[in-house]
Amino acid sequence: MQLEVNLVNELRAIRKRSSVDKSRSVQYQNEPNESILNRIKGGTGKTTELNHLDADRIFSIEDIRELCIQYRLRFLDASRFANEIPEEAFEEIRKIQGVEQKNLEGFKIVAPASMFHLIQKDKDPMLFLDMGHGKYYLIHKWGKDLKVWRKWLVYPMRSFETFLSTLVAIAFIGAILPSDSVMMGPYDSSALPIRVIFFFYLVLALSGLGALYGYSRMKDFSNNLWNSKYTL
């Protein structure tokens, strides 16, 4: 069983877009890393129009938002990224610049929130280029793949609806699992009323525990945090 998930493959599975032209082969430019890094770290709110594209690397903002919510990731300006950007990313940028004959601007990064504040190497960031009109071009992905179970571990915190549905599902399972001999008293003819009462008791108890330990630790839901620049 595969225990890691490739975020690029997940993003491609999410994507809902029309086809565009495939990219042609490109040449390297000689722009130094320092110059490219200054534009990656310095520019915000800018876009770059591209003419020669690899259709498989174009994603809409809706696709990226869904991925971030599913895996509790952030999508922020590259200027806020705290980690080093690998040489392979600079090479990809030079390739694109070679065929487009222009400098690229408007970089974004998808990564766990901690990578925008801490230096860690075991995460899975992706560098995007803002093409405007809600479209983003994937420049490069690096780091290790996320564990496949991360998607399900953070599922309750996707939104208030998933948080509530998870609590209800756990309460329902907890109410139906005990046998009738455990649920029924010596004078009860049916365990159903007791199970119903126990279900609502579990919902209330789990709601309190979830608010106290879950929400207070995670701070907010993923559908509110995916593009937030604030530390929570």
CA–CA distance, 211 with 188 (Å, rounded to integer):
35
Does this model's pTM top 0.75? no
**pLDDT above 50 for 118:** no
**How would residue 184 be classed by pLDDT, with cut points 50, 70 and 90?**
low
What are 137-179's pLDDT values in tens digits?
999 998 777 787 888 888 888 888 888 898 999 999 988 888 7
The token pair at 212 is 């106290």
The sign of the CA dihedral 196, 200, 206, 210 is positive
Cβ contacts of 17 within 8 Å, gap of 6 or more: 58, 59, 60, 63
CA–CA distance, 194 with 192 (Å, rounded to integer):
5
What are 23-71's pLDDT values in tens digits?
333 343 578 888 888 888 876 667 878 887 788 889 999 999 999 999 9
